[in-house]
Amino acid sequence: MMAPDVAHLGLSQWLSLVETRELRVGIIGLGYVGLPLVLLFSQEGFRVTGFDIDSAKVDRLNQGESYIHRIEPHDIQSAQGKGFRATADFADVSEVDAILICVPTPLSDHRTPDMSYITATMDSIVRHLRPGQLVVLESTTYPGTTEELIAPAIERAGQLKIIRETMKCDGVMVAYSPEREDPGNISIDRRDIPKVIGGLGTIAAEAAAALYQAAFRRVIRVSSPAAAEMTKLLENIYRCVNIALVNELKLLCLRMGIDIWEVIGAAATKPFGFQPFYPGPGLGGHCIPIDPFYLSWKAKEFDFSTRFIELAGEVNEAMPYHVVAAVASALNQRSKPLKGARILVLGLAYKKDVDDLRESPSLSIIEMLQQEGAVVSYNDPYFPTVGRGRKYNLNMQSQPLEHLGAYDCVLIVTDHTSYDYSRIVDESQLVVDSRNATRGLVSEKIVRC
């Protein structure tokens, strides 16, 4: 079925198409952000087309399969029954009315924003855009991206203008609405997470707000795309800074012989003015390890140094080195050198109970241990194998949790709830715990770091 012709409609008619669910939604990037968004809009009665450059993903989705652990095949099949299909043909962008861009925005090797996925997406879609469409960027990025990259890419194509204050028959609406996905969190319904929206002009803001209000229970409009972009960075930098604080305090508490987890638990009983954050082996996921560097990079354009934020990033980046040093020290206490030691790493995912490797500290820790001459294996129920990524090249297979006593050290990096930590401690020679997963267990085999 062809999408309704919105090219010559006014804003009120565009909004009515949202209300009647005749508006077609296109979502570019079918990963941990885009695919859940597909399901949410599909559940609300919209016909959704998903776009991805990975033809294997497209094929699996069109066969009713899922490649994300928390999304079941029946969720995909239910969406298909409501009109969902996936494609790698970006010419089909012309058939949808709202285009939501959910592509990666990693850091380059030099810690600067890598906009290649966004620019490649825009290159693929600009010649297929048509009047009356809404383009929304959801990818985490620096303030100014929507106005400095998305809008100019559309206007450079020469055929369309950006609709700002009045609905024009030769224009496209542009907005920014940051994703707020939390992989593995099943306690909050996705539609209950408020959606922040910044439109490039009042028309785009109205259109984007109406679209997202159809799928989310609350929408918060801010004055501009840049304000929405900064909102996303603030949310994640807030977490980054506070995690850096407890990571640094953990290192101090280890020297002082104080249990940082006990301290955090006691402090968390205060009913005001305190929110608990927890230390770990390093930051992972797409946003928190990356966002501080995005803002620091952009700040230099304004001759401003974000010293506080940069320091937090440095503290968190140092944590994998601390874990490796703790393993070496624990082995040394048992008259075993790190070089040649057999080590089993528990958990590759960046957080427990998710099938997400993005920026996982486990990957860095494994490579560091290998560089020191250790013989490293891993176990993770979500990753039977791990190959090569942007920043790692491991080519390993998950090992069964058998013969744990054959390893010189079992290192807990990701605290999956499926692990039987009591058994692991009983059967291992040495357990180094970077997540406090063995809390409540008492054994001379355990070294908490």
Q: What is the pLDDT of residue 4?
A: 52
* Count of other CB atoms within 10 angstroms of residue 167: 20
Last residue in a domain, options 189, 206, 223: 223
pLDDT, position 8:
55
Q: Is 127 helix (H, G, I), strand (E, B) or coil?
A: helix
Q: Residue 112: inside a domain, yes or no? A: yes
pLDDT at position 92, please? 97
Residues 214 and 305 in one domain: no
Looking at residue 3, its pLDDT comes to 47
Residues 386 and 441 in one domain: yes
Asked whether residue 277 falls in the same domain as residue 415, the answer is yes
Domain match, 134 and 254 both: no
Domain-embedded: residue 243: no
Is 33 a member of any domain?
Answer: yes
Angle at alpha carbon of residue 120, lines to 116 and 99, rounded to 5°: 115
Low-confidence spans in the chain with pLDDT less than 50? 1-3
Residues 44 and 106 in one domain: yes
Q: Which amino acid is at 335?
A: S
Residues 233, 294 contacting (CB under 8 angstroms): yes
Ramachandran quadrant class, 125 (left: phi over 0; alpha: psi -120 to 50; beta: rest): alpha
Residue 1: its pLDDT value, please?
Answer: 41
Q: Give the separation between CA 28 and CA 38, rounded to whole angstroms.
A: 10
Q: Are 310 and 439 part of one and the same domain?
A: yes
**Co-location of 261 and 206 in the same domain:** no
pLDDT digits (tens, 9 = 90+) for 127-172: 999 999 999 999 999 999 999 999 999 999 878 899 988 776 678 9
Same domain, 315 and 425: yes
- Regarding whether 398 and 256 lie in a shared domain, the answer is yes
Is 234 within the bounds of a domain? no
Q: How far apart are CA 347 and CA 353, in angstroms?
A: 9
Q: What's the pLDDT at 133?
A: 94
**How many folded domains does the chain comprise?**
2
Q: Does one domain contain both 288 and 166?
A: no
Q: Is 288 within a domain?
A: yes
Give the 3-state secondary structure of residue 392: coil
pTM of the shown model: 0.90
Structural domain that includes position 162:
11-223
- Evaluate whether residue 270 is within a structural domain: yes
Query: How many residues appear in the chain?
Result: 449
Write down which residue in 207, 223, 239 finishes a domain.
Answer: 223
Angle between helices 307-317 and 225-256 (to 10 degrees): 50
Q: Are residues 27 and 145 in the same domain?
A: yes
pLDDT at 9: 62
56, 31 Cβ separation under 8 angstroms: no
Look at residue 377 in the predicted model and tell me its pLDDT: 97
Which of these three, 223, 257, 273, is where a domain ends? Answer: 223
User: Is residue 345 included in any domain, yes or no?
Assistant: yes
| Active-site annotation holder among 240, 253, 287, 449 | 287
Specify the DSSP element, H or E, that contains 342. Answer: strand 342-346
Q: Would you call 449 a catalytic residue per the annotation?
A: no
CATH number at residue 402: 3.40.50.720
Same domain for 186 and 264?
Answer: no
Q: Is residue 2 part of a domain?
A: no
Q: What token pair was written down for 35?
A: 């695919």
